[in-house]
Structure 1
Amino acid sequence: RDFSEADKQIVFDEARRIIKEIIPLHRQLQEKGQIEVITTPYAHPILPLIFYSSLARVGNPGAEMPERFSYPNDAIAHLERSVEIYQAHFGMAPQGLWPGEGAVAEEIVPLVAGAGYTWMATGEPVLAQSLGIGSFTRDTKETIQQADDLYRPYYVQGNSGGKVAVFFRDWTLSDKIGFTYSGMSGEMAARDLMARLENIRTRLKEEGASGPHVVSLILDGENAWEYYDNDGKEFFHAFYQLLSESTTIKTITPSKYLELFPEQRELENLFPGAWFSPNYDTWIGEDEENQAWSYLGRVRYDLSRYDMLKTRSASSEAIAQAQDYMYLAEGSDWFWWYGSDQDSGQDEYFDAGFRALLAKVYESLGEPAPAFVNVPIIPKKPAAADQNIQGLSTPIIDGISSADEWNNAALYSTTAAPANSLAYTFDATNLYLRLTFMRQPPPEYRIGFYLAIPHAADHFPFARAAQGEAPVLLGIAATRLFEWDGAEFKAFTAGNNGWTDGTTVKNATLSIKDTTAGVPILEAAIPWE
């Protein structure tokens, strides 16, 4: 507290100075041979799903899938751009690749090789499925029992050529560093890790395996060091000291390992999966995820009319900008937060960001964004009812609230004048609605009830606007509208570009009557069919 703007500027300047040193420092260490810096495809996509989304069915045959998304050229672009950016910063071509979320499949191997990568990495569940063993087993000390299988790279070659080595992450040891050791002293954590590495060496000797073997420890740095005391420095110092003293365990970069030991086993098939699962369920298959893929596919098709089909034209600069927004929208993080399996606490923020990128594709091409881009994939949280529905009921639609007839209805109060409350109930025949008012609405007042019907073919995100009115964003993917215009009760159906011409609701009953206070009550019965 009590820091001046000048004080803050000192902190900001120092932070910027340190940030600017990060890449030059790592470039220097790489040039000395101390480290190997790898990269990820441009916008961190789930590369196999960009290549062909139906690959998700291999790991989960029963999953609900969106309409197929398959743009191999985009997958190639993500890889080529990652190489260009890497070369610009490190003065050399990258050798190693961490695919977004460790997501791999045999189908992308030729693309990875074609971009110049010689190796990539993923998780042990992928190797277990690729070997047909289901999963690796561990003893009471959490030591892998199939050690000779896990602790080595494998060469994989796709059907169209191109060979890439694949290293597989030790799940338990990597997660110890990422999530467990932060709760221990650095010295104790380092000794525990070294003991576990020695246990692996012992197991390899028991198997009679011939080495040298390599243990891959792979983790997200942002998930670990902020939880360690002093950013993990005690752990690092103790671990590096123990490694320096060890005569049996050595550090090596993956590229150097392949250079020294080029003869490695080959996998006949690289199972589609990610770093923690032999499937892509976190990014596709749930309703929200599938809707996001549907949005992505519709926008990508519209863009393809410019950059692939050539049925529409724009400047090369406009198309390049639209492609860049498209690639950013193909990133994995948007899909990570859709669905029920992950929760950021502000998933609506990521939804808005994803759809903003899709809108930018059209803006770059000089086209208006279609209405669906404005429809939230994650709908607004529903208003809490003052009373939840208590059961079926059949109120009399006469504009008069008789005693008890709406007792079972759900009730919502509102301060959105001139309305006062909304109630609904239903029976086997009708949906019943009641709207009360705090004062007489103006003569030109229109009353609309917007419904969102799941799996409807079309939806529209804006309220129906009369001529000269600005459309209002509803916040839901509305599919049906029932509207009272003061004279008729009409039904409208959502289309791609708006609401269809209204037709009088058949067999509907609607009544508006003044109460003794002179304020009307609207009651309606809408048939289910």
Structure 2
Amino acid sequence: MGAGLVLLHTCHDFLWNGTWVGAYELQALLLSEYNVSVTIDFTPVLLYQWETILTEGTFPYSPAWPSPSTLNVNMTQCLEAINYTISLYRELAQEGRVEILTVPFYHPLQAIIYDNGWQSDLLAQILMGEEMTEEVFGVRATGAWTPEMAFNMGLVHLYNETGIEFTILDAQAFLPYATVVSGTPSPYGPIIVEDSTGEQVIVLFRDTDLSNAFSFAYFSQSPQVTARELIHYLARIYMQNPGAVIVVALDGENPLIFNPTTGPADLQAIYQVLSEYQVPGS
């Protein structure tokens, strides 16, 4: 992410309760307000940029702002926002309200790197990502976001070697090629997959329709409509699949960034309705 975009999305995406906030900060603020838990990942290179800004006290070079409307971004405000955002997530993680995943340091397409014989580079990036995530948030991640869900079975060994126990994938793209050891091969439950050497990893599958609704529909419509549609969808799945694990997986900041007027209120409606309708045992 370019320098200007880092600061923009950290401290100046939209007004919320009369104050400029970034997409990352808003999500933490709402998680603190409502009784809901989420799993989230931060690309380690973003965390590195945050740490560099805090260490330097300013950006080490002049950021190129993406549009004239962001020229009024205040650097002091951004420093405060970075500190506040990190402290919020660190607190939520230590309370068990947020589970933080790790990512290979530069968010690479791992399957391509692996297939081109650069396994040592990929191993180093996974370890660097784990270290940066722990340094910033004080937790050791046991799950990994596989960038773009671009996975092949060769990654099972690397995840085992680096202490990664689970990841999230797309069922349509992955299930036909996986050796399932344990669990029902469906989008609504964790399964264990095994590579040719017997090494294993747990996989959760995203609900494609619901994830796409979050990406392309929910954040551009009335918050009341969003809340109603979400609860109806979840109720239908739980009635058809008792005990289902329904996974929403997406680039969580994008719907907010692309819909700065409706997005924040929609995210609030989503967290509020999830807080009100708790599934027993969840």
Identity of aligned residues (%): 27
Give the match's secondary structure for 1:36. strand
Q: Which of 92, 99, 117 pairs up with 2:139?
A: 92
By how many angstroms is 1:28 displaced?
0.7
**Contact 1:127 / 1:168 at 8 angstroms: preserved in 2?**
no
Q: Which of 251, 276, 280 pairs up with 1:220?
A: 251
Q: Determine the structure 1 residue equivalent to 2:75.
A: 12
Q: Determine the structure 1 residue equivalent to 2:225.
A: 188
Measured in 1, the distance between the counterparts of 2:259 and 2:280 equals 25
Name the amino acid aligned to 2:152: A
Length-normalised TM-score, structure 1: 0.37
Measured in 2, the distance between the counterparts of 1:182 and 1:41 equals 28
By how many angstroms is 1:90 displaced?
2.1
* 1:157 paired to 2:173: no
By how many angstroms is 1:165 displaced?
0.7
1:266-322 per-position Cα deviation (integer Å, ceiling 9, x unaligned): xxxxxxxxxxxxxxxxxxxxxxxxxxxxxxxxxxxxxxxxxxxxxxxxxxxxxxxxx
Give the match's secondary structure for 1:70. coil
* 1:27 paired to 2:119: no
Give the match's secondary structure for 2:98. coil
Measured in 1, the distance between the counterparts of 2:113 and 2:226 equals 39
1:431-455 per-position Cα deviation (integer Å, ceiling 9, x unaligned): xxxxxxxxxxxxxxxxxxxxxxxxx
By how many angstroms is 1:89 displaced?
1.4
Structure 1 residues 218 and 250 mapped into 2: Cα distance closer, same or farther (>3 Å)?
Answer: farther
Give the match's secondary structure for 2:159. helix
Q: Tell which has more relative contact order, 1 or 2 (C-alpha 8 A, sep 6+).
A: 2
By how many angstroms is 1:162 displaced?
3.4
Length-normalised TM-score, structure 2: 0.67
1:223-276 per-position Cα deviation (integer Å, ceiling 9, x unaligned): 21123354633223322332233254775xxxxxxxxxxxxxxxxxxxxxxxxx
By how many angstroms is 1:48 displaced?
1.9
* Dislocated runs of 4+, deviation >6 Å: none
* 1:171 paired to 2:208: yes
Report the number of matched residues: 208
Q: Determine the structure 2 residue equivalent to 1:312.
A: none
By how many angstroms is 1:16 displaced?
2.4
* 1:79 paired to 2:129: no
1:3-26 per-position Cα deviation (integer Å, ceiling 9, x unaligned): xxxxx7872311221122222211
Measured in 2, the distance between the counterparts of 1:10 and 1:226 equals 16
Give the match's secondary structure for 2:248. coil
Q: Determine the structure 2 residue equivalent to 1:105.
A: 152
Q: Determine the structure 2 residue equivalent to 1:43.
A: 106
Structure 1 residues 120 and 21 mapped into 2: Cα distance closer, same or farther (>3 Å)?
Answer: same
By how many angstroms is 1:98 displaced?
0.6
Name the one with the larger strand percent.
1
By how many angstroms is 1:45 displaced?
1.4
Name the one with the larger helix percent.
2
Write out aligned runs for 1:344-383 (5 A): none
CA RMSD of the aligned region, Å?
2.4
Structure 1 residues 234 and 214 mapped into 2: Cα distance closer, same or farther (>3 Å)?
Answer: same
By how many angstroms is 1:40 displaced?
1.1
**Contact 2:221 / 2:262 at 8 angstroms: preserved in 1?**
no
Q: Which runs of 5+ in 1 are unaligned?
A: 1-7, 53-68, 133-146, 205-210, 252-529
Give the match's secondary structure for 2:226. helix
Which of structures 1 and 2 has the bigger CA Rg?
1
